[in-house]
Amino acid sequence: MAGVTAATAHRRRAHGASASRPWGVAPTALLLLGAIYCLFPVFWVLIAATKSPGELFSTSTLSFGTGFFDNVAELFAYRDGVFWLWAANTLIYAGGGALLSTAVSAVSGYALAKYRFPGRNAIFNLLIGGILVPAVVLAIPQYLLFSEIGLADSHWAVLLPQILHPYGIYLARVYAAAAIPDSLLEAGRIDGAGEWHLMSRVALPLMVPGMVTIFLFQFVAIWNNFLLPFIMLGDDGKFPLTVGLYTLLAAGANQPALYNLILTGALLSIVPLIALFLTMQRYWKTDLSSGAVK
């Protein structure tokens, strides 16, 4: 009996996801329902972005408009193409911030998971505890501080405070604990490898799938952050997309909000995130345990 099950299981594994079972459609159906729920509002933005200002509030919400390319052209031409500048800034903040954040998180998580040293838990709890303080609260003191050292209204003012993220460190610690076998490190030490070498050559490569997740989360978080750059930056040439598009929305009491540009801009600013997600997702295919020796 057990043998038969094992054989079926084995065959099923060999055929991957193609096997079906009694209520085998149900899981797929459930997931698709979730996907539709999540996609529907995005689909709505897609439709709204195709509408000209005149159509936005006069035609049916679910029918496509005729103004998509006009909207895009208008957005790109707005103030001599400032949209591209904002996009480039966002890329610098999100890309640079997420890279640094991933590196810091991975190294910290590795140290916290794989070493026993006095103060380990205190440091971990302290770093994690940072999440208790709302970002809204921190933005003003951070701004006053950056002003003090003369770095307010610079790219650094947006980049630096977003490197440390408690969640990233927590995730890195969990991944390091799961993906790096102690035996591998011990073997390395017996072979005479230094601690730096073990970290950079043995540990970090094993943590890559986890690091991809952290990178993605941080990238998206910084890409979408509004309050910090809003407070920190005075020069509109350094704005990220969120703050830039906001200047179109809150155009002043006596100016109309440029809804068509905002919707188009919002849609276009999601596209790079989708592209990033598609590229990153192949890293999840290698499951963590396959790399590790158990």
Partner 1 sequence: MKRSARGAWPYLFLTPAIVLFTLFLAVPIAYTVYLAMRRTRVSGLGLGKGARREVFVGFDNFAAALADAELWQGWLRVLGYGALVLGVMLGLALLFALLLDSARVRLARFSRIAIFLPYAVPGVAATLLWGFLYLPSLSPIRAVLDVDYLGATTVTYSMANVAVWGGVGFNMLVLYTALRAIPRDLYEAARLDGASEVQIALRVKIPMLTPAIVLTTVFSIIATIQVFTEPTALRPLTNTISSTWSPLMKVYRDAFVTGDLYSAAATSIVIAAISLVLSFGFLRVVRDRAFREG
Partner 2 sequence: MRTNRLGAALAVALTVTCMSGALVSCGSDEPAESPEAAPATAAPQGPAKLTYWTWAPNMDKIVKVWNDANPDIQVTVSKQAGGDDAAAKYLTAAKAGNPPDLVQAEYQHLPSFIAADAVADLKTETAPIKGEFSEGLWNLVTLGTDAVYGIPQDSGPMMLFYRKDLFDKHGIEVPETWQEYAEAARTVRKKDPKAYLGTFSSKDPGAFTGLAQQAGAQWWSISGESWKVDVADEPTRKVADYWGGLVKEDAIDDVPYFTPEWNKALNDGRLLTWPSAVWAPGVLSSNAPKAKGKWAVAPLPQWNAGENFSGFWGGSSTAVSARTPHKAAAAKFATWLNTDPKAIDLLVKEAAIYPATTKAQSALGEAPEYFSNQPDFWQQAAAVSAGARGFTFGPNVGVTYNAFKDGFDKALQDGTPFSAAVQAMQDATVADMRKSGFQIAS
Residues 238-257 that bind partner 2 (CB under 8 A): 243, 246-247, 249-257
Give min distance, CB of 73 to partner 1, in A: 22
Residues 206-245 that bind partner 1 (CB under 8 A): 209-210, 213, 217, 220, 223-224, 226, 242
Give min distance, CB of 236 to partner 1, in A: 19
Give min distance, CB of 244 to partner 2, in A: 9
The binder of 293, among partner 2, partner 1, none, by C-beta within 5 to 8 A per type, is none
The binder of 268, among partner 2, partner 1, none, by C-beta within 5 to 8 A per type, is none
Q: CA–CA separation, 168 vs 108, rounded Å? A: 10
Q: Name the one range near partner 2 by CB under 8 A: 36-44, 102-110, 234-242, 274-282.
A: 234-242
104 binds partner 1 (CB under 8 A): yes
Nearest to partner 1 of 80, 251 (CB atom): 251
Query: Cα dist. 19→34, 72, 141, 286, 287 in Å?
Result: 22, 45, 57, 21, 20
Residues 81-120 that bind partner 2 (CB under 8 A): none
Planar angle of CA 213, 277, 139, nearest 5 degrees: 65
Q: Name the one range near partner 2 by CB under 8 A: 54-62, 96-104, 175-183, 195-203.
A: 54-62
Tokens encoding 24: 């085998």
Nearest to partner 2 of 22, 150 (CB atom): 150
Q: Name the one range near partner 1 by CB under 8 A: 64-72, 73-81, 87-95, 173-181.
A: 173-181
By the criterion CB under 8 A, which residues form the site for partner 2?
53-54, 56-58, 79, 121-122, 125-126, 129, 140, 143-145, 147-148, 152-153, 230-231, 234-237, 243, 246-247, 249-258
